[in-house]
Chain A
Amino acid sequence: MNAITLSNITKTYNRKTVLAVDDVSFEVGKGEIFGLIGPDGAGKSTLFRLLTTLLIADKGTATVAGHDVVKDFKEIRGLVGYMPGRFSLYQDLTVEENLNFFATVFNTTIKENYELIKDIYVQLEPFKNRRAGKLSGGMKQKLALCCALVHKPEVLFLDEPTTGVDVVSRKEFWEMLHRLKLLGITILVSTSYMDEATRCDRIGLILGGRLLSINTPEDTIKAYPEKLYAAKSDGIYALLKDLRSFEGILSCYAFGEFLHVSLKCAEQEALSYIQSKGHTHVEFKQITPTVEDCFIRLLNQKNEGNGHKDE
């Protein structure tokens, strides 16, 4: 049985003038880590709020742990853990008091589910008498995860859990998620960091409220149809301008210190074009696309599609 199902979910704001989620359908299997990848404003948080019964969709149906999000919202509230994008625990209560409070409102105790949160809690323990507001960013996230886990939920909703957290803490955080997965907890996680996408079992690329693709990270990358090249020279901006005016080019954009280029013509043709423009120290090599490349490609496609519609 799927832990989460959505079919044709649509949600608008401001009396139907702002479309936040547009006809989204997908399923998440039990014990799966499903990542929603997309930029800010793509509709990720709205999906989370719909699934955690905080909002009601305009159209479509959704279930969480086998319960309908509208009819059985009471059951769902006991079965899910939700970590909103913004730190929203009581800043004036201590670590221990926050955890105790959330345990008691779910009618349980820290002791009862200690096994589940042990790995995270041992890191928090030295600060257990510190007020939540005075914790560092990474510690806050760990505490929030603890609070979301303390009642042993079946499904965990994590809305941008690693935003504003340092690289080491992010890595630790994902390791924790994988341990939770082994315990059979289903995790729906959103992020705007593309590098985190590869740590999910499956990812959904979401943009402007529409789900553009759903696949495993590997297959998402494999599905990239063209060969992708990285190019570099001494004058990177001039190179970008030259390549964009070249007819044999499909797409070209800056990516870190390189330009990522896909071609209509042969590799050799492009190389000789670059050299004819007088660039020095030219590097030009084929690379494996990343999830971000896939995302940019879908983004461009969508924009072009819109452009054609306008014409």
Chain B
Amino acid sequence: MRPLKFLLMKEFRQLFRDKGFIGRLLIAPALQLVLLPLAANYTIKNVNIAIVDHDHSSISKKMVDKIMSSGYFRLAGYSDFNSKANKLIENDKADIVLEIPVNFEKDLIREGGRKIAIEVNAINGVKASVGFGYLSGILTDYNADIRMQWVEPSRTNSLPVIDVIPSFWYNPALTYYIYMVPAILVSLVTTIAGLSAAFNIVKEKEIGTIEQINVTPIKKYQFILGKLIPFLVMGFIVFTVGLLIAWVVYGIIPVGHIALLCLFLEVFLIAILGFGLLISTYCDSQQQANSLMFLFMMVFNMMSGLYTPIDSMPGWAQFITHLFPISYFIDVMRMIVIKGSGLHDILHQIGAVLIIGIVLNTWAALNYRKTT
């Protein structure tokens, strides 16, 4: 085991000599953890609304006031003409057009009902659907208010009404960063540990030092361990820094056990480092490794449940995500940090990542032997 000790000494010496290393290790995660959750915020504000009011009644005016006072909307235009409002959508000035028909108030009172039109600019799908959701929510509320005013209370009681009172478990206020920050931290650890390991090994190939190492009595497994252990340590450092940032900036303290997080991180890092090693056995230059890694990381990040829930994907896509260690980790992170799950709850995920790790590392080790 003596050669391993010298290999490790050499690796750490090289890592800390690299000027950008500390930056990549500490500053990059800090920056990303502060910036990325802001981008992943689904609470949409400033939906631009154009209102076409053909009625100009007190009801229509109150309705507009109610919409504007909600804080989600910004008035892009208020006019009597459809054409003007449509122009605003065409020029991307308005996201939603609300059209109040002629005699809205009169018909509402006389005939007990009147349709109003909402037109939505669906180029930005998220903004469109969320904006529409807000608007219809407000209108439903307003509708209830009107009923209360005009219909006699005794009669309303006889009508069956379903009143929904939601209660959000584990995240009562549905605060987005409570579930985004742990997931982004996983993505960060994956990128930093996995990429660095792959690049580091490929670099030895590229500059030819691996050739020099291969003629020494150093054994293959010693060389591989000498490469993986430093990045395992690096993964733990990044993770710790990330958890500290989550606490300081977002006030997130894991509900579950930190030890359990570390246990899963350990298993996860073995799998992801195996993946990096595997990539490195197929590449001869850092550029090749870079493009290959970019492809995989893109898919991992998009499909791992970081932004959109895995459950809403089609069956075959869900199956693919079961092959990614990262989707298990995001799942486990959210379970432990937000819900406080115990070891028993995550046994399935630990088992899955362990199997993936064994497969990737065996594959990499076999392929490594074959190519050199």
Interface residues of A (CB under 8 A from B): 52-54, 74, 77-78, 80, 82, 84, 86-93, 97, 101-102, 104-107, 147
Across the interface, do A106 and B217 meet the contact criterion of CB distance under 8 Å? Answer: yes
In the complex, what distance in Å separates the CA atom of A104 from the CA atom of B17? 20
In the complex, what distance in Å separates the CA atom of A52 from the CA atom of B213? 12
In the complex, what distance in Å separates the CA atom of A74 from the CA atom of B17? 32
Closest 8 CB pairs of A and B: A88-B208, A104-B6, A82-B215, A105-B216, A88-B212, A86-B208, A52-B215, A88-B209
Across the interface, do A84 and B217 meet the contact criterion of CB distance under 8 Å? Answer: no
Could you say which residues of chain B place their CB within 8 Å of the CB of A147? 212
CB closest residue in chain A, given B5: A104
Could you say which residues of chain A place their CB within 8 Å of the CB of B209? 88-90
Known: A101-B10, A104-B6. A89 touches B215 (CB 8 A): no
A-B contact pairs, 23 of them (CB 8 A): A52-B215, A54-B372, A77-B217, A80-B215, A82-B215, A84-B208, A88-B208, A88-B212, A90-B10, A90-B14, A90-B209, A93-B17, A97-B10, A101-B6, A102-B216, A105-B3, A105-B7, A105-B216, A105-B217, A106-B217, A107-B3, A107-B217, A147-B212
Known: A92-B18, A107-B2. A84 touches B212 (CB 8 A): yes
CB closest residue in chain B, given A73: B215
CB closest residue in chain B, given A91: B207
For the complex, is B218 an interface residue (Cβ under 8 Å from A)?
A: yes
Most buried by A among B17, B214, B216: B216
**B192-239: which residues lie under 8 A (CB-CB) from chain A?**
207-209, 211-218
Could you say which residues of chain A place their CB within 8 Å of the CB of B7? 105
Could you say which residues of chain B place their CB within 8 Å of the CB of A105? 3, 6-7, 213, 216-218
In the complex, what distance in Å separates the CA atom of A82 from the CA atom of B208? 12
Q: How far is the CB of A83 from chain B (nearest CB, A)?
A: 9
Most buried by A among B209, B212, B214: B212
Could you say which residues of chain A place their CB within 8 Å of the CB of B218? 105
For the complex, is B115 an interface residue (Cβ under 8 Å from A)?
A: no
Could you say which residues of chain B place their CB within 8 Å of the CB of A74? 217
CB closest residue in chain A, given B15: A92
Residue in B17, B214, B372 whose beta carbon sits within 8 Å of that of A92 in the complex: B17
Q: Contacts A53-B215, A54-B214, A54-B372 given; 5 further ones with Cβ under 8 A? A: A77-B215, A88-B212, A90-B14, A97-B10, A107-B3
Interface residues of B (CB under 8 A from A): 2-3, 6-7, 10, 13-14, 17-18, 207-209, 211-218, 372
CB closest residue in chain A, given B2: A107
In the complex, what distance in Å separates the CA atom of A91 from the CA atom of B17? 11
CB closest residue in chain B, given A153: B215
Known: A82-B215, A105-B217, A105-B218. A92 touches B14 (CB 8 A): yes
Could you say which residues of chain B place their CB within 8 Å of the CB of A54? 211, 214-215, 372
Across the interface, do B217 and A82 meet the contact criterion of CB distance under 8 Å? Answer: no
Could you say which residues of chain A place their CB within 8 Å of the CB of B214? 54
Residue in B3, B14, B215, B372 whose beta carbon sits within 8 Å of that of A93 in the complex: B14
Q: How far is the CB of B234 from chain A (nearest CB, A)?
A: 17
In the complex, what distance in Å separates the CA atom of A53 from the CA atom of B220? 14
Most buried by A among B7, B10, B18: B10
Known: A104-B6, A105-B3. A88 touches B215 (CB 8 A): no
CB closest residue in chain B, given A98: B10
Q: How far is the CB of A14 from chain B (nearest CB, A)?
A: 14
Could you say which residues of chain B place their CB within 8 Å of the CB of A89? 209, 212
Across the interface, do A84 and B211 meet the contact criterion of CB distance under 8 Å? Answer: yes
In the complex, what distance in Å separates the CA atom of A84 from the CA atom of B218? 18
In the complex, what distance in Å separates the CA atom of A71 from the CA atom of B18? 40
Could you say which residues of chain A place their CB within 8 Å of the CB of B216? 77, 102, 105-106
Could you say which residues of chain B place their CB within 8 Å of the CB of A91? 207
Q: How far is the CB of B15 from chain A (nearest CB, A)?
A: 10
In the complex, what distance in Å separates the CA atom of A90 from the CA atom of B211? 12
Could you say which residues of chain B place their CB within 8 Å of the CB of A52? 215
CB closest residue in chain A, given B214: A54
Could you say which residues of chain A place their CB within 8 Å of the CB of B212? 82, 84, 88-89, 102, 147
Q: How far is the CB of A75 from chain B (nearest CB, A)?
A: 9
Q: How far is the CB of B323 from chain A (nearest CB, A)?
A: 32
CB closest residue in chain B, given A107: B2
Q: How far is the CB of A98 from chain B (nearest CB, A)?
A: 9
Could you say which residues of chain A place their CB within 8 Å of the CB of B215? 52-54, 77, 80, 82
In the complex, what distance in Å separates the CA atom of A54 from the CA atom of B205? 13
